[in-house]
Amino acid sequence: MGSLLNKKITLNDLLNIPYDQAIEYTVDFIKEYVKKAGVKNVVMGLSGGVDSATVLALLTEALGSDHVTVLIMPDEKVTSKQDVEDAKYLAEIFGVKQYYIPINNIMESYKTIPFFDYDDRLATGNLRARIRMTLLYYYANKYNAIVIGTSDRSELLIGYYTKYGDGGADLLPIGALYKTQVRRLALKLGIPENIAFKPSSPGLWPHHLAEEELGLRYEDIDLVLYSVFDLGVEPDKVPSYTGIPYSVVEKVLMLHRRSRHKRVFPPIPRYPWLDQPIKEI
């Protein structure tokens, strides 16, 4: 760390990781976890974006395509046709079992709820993510599989995912890699460039793009997070090391602080006669 902090911190510093080693380590990690879980099969949602494409490639390398199932779950009123085509293409080239499950009708069924408001973009968008999670866990329960999540380190640290939606998973294979690193890893794994560098799009509402919603570029988000969490740079010193304005640093860290509840177990009252946290034995 000391040598890096004697000079400017750039995106190249962040991207300069041993990708072959990252693939090998992640593949071993997946194999070990699945074995310990006592299952042979996994299921994941495939969106056609870089994160799910990268995770799919890692899963098939670790377990073989026969043990991987993907659910493609568009809301056909919202999801782009290109994303659906890319998802189907990825499922075919990796040779995995795929189910195409439009969630339109499920969304329509919620209209019977008195307080349902289709125009509430955030609440309705998060509902889509939670519907997809329930389908994944239904499949996992039925076929003795585990659910694989596709969130990366950038999304986890700023809370850019739906609590109990795409945040609901048993394993996060790329959770230690920043978005910009995942794009490079995707290329290493043979993901086509048009998918590896496709603009990030959660697709929770029409034309939904991550960077537009956040008002930040992932290159800046990642450099701020890398500087603070990996290199231990004080937030007020990040601008002098990176050239990123402090207003951007502040916004990234605000997103991190506000999403803390997504990264911790729900609070439990501590009674005086039972003042011990839950722990494994």
The alpha helices in 159-261, defined as continuous H runs, are 179-188, 193-196, 210-214, 218-225, 238-242, 246-258
Residue type, 264: V
Does 236 qualify as catalytic in the annotation? Answer: no
Task: Give the Å distances, CA to CA, from 54 to 49, 51, 68, 186.
Answer: 9, 5, 14, 5
CB contact at 8 A, 134 and 215? no
Residue 221 in tokens? 């988000």
Residue 12 in tokens? 């190249």
3-state secondary structure of 75: coil
Q: Which of 83, 86, 155, 170 is catalytic?
A: 155
Does 155 qualify as catalytic in the annotation? Answer: yes
Secondary-structure percent of the chain, ordered helix, strand, coil, rounded to 5? 55, 5, 40
- Count of beta carbons in the 10 Å neighbourhood of residue 164: 13
Task: Give all strands (DSSP E) within the chain, no chain letters.
Answer: 41-45, 68-72, 97-100, 145-148
Q: From edge to edge, which strands make up the β-sheet containing 145-148? A: 97-100, 68-72, 41-45, 145-148
Catalytic residue ranges: 51, 155
